[in-house]
Structure 1
């Protein structure tokens, strides 16, 4: 369930960021309130995910996936430019998130082995 919470947090963070762009610098009050609602929901679901996921992993995935996805949305929907430097930087972010996730899984397996050995 915690991974579902994290996924919802990412989706709401994306919605908040897209809405932020559409507020035109907070000039559109309705969209500004919607943006705050999306971000509040995102942080709420991120908090729920943190009950079972390490903060370093959850935050890396939440922010990393947010960066990757919003860059794609910016390119496709808002017609923002994308360069090779942006692509490489995003690849580094993805590599970092994947590495953190893999090493965290290995660390958890090691901890579980130690708990069994100590019994």
Structure 2
């Protein structure tokens, strides 16, 4: 399990609290996704699981907190915060080509697996 360094955690906490308010005693999920590059092959889904990938010294780090709302709100350092409501998971023409459409699409696929998507706030940074 990866744990954030103090600087990264401080940056994430500041971003989260500026956008969504104090974390307080709520449970926080920390996520870390290291960067990678496909040297040979591309996407395991159509390469039969065979690729040669290399790691990079970049990553995405974020913190998420579950909410009682019917919304997913996302804050990305350096970009406008956005939200989607989970009232409808159908394609929204006004969202096409946006990050909101990706989040709605992921919620749609979670629902297709028989799990009801729940609201949360998420703040992340990229190095």
Q: Which has the higher strand share?
A: 2
Q: TM-score range by the shorter chain?
A: under 0.3
- Please, what TM-score do these two structures have when normalized by structure 1? 0.24
- Please, what TM-score do these two structures have when normalized by structure 2? 0.23
Q: Which has the higher helix share?
A: 1
Q: Which has the larger radius of gyration?
A: 1
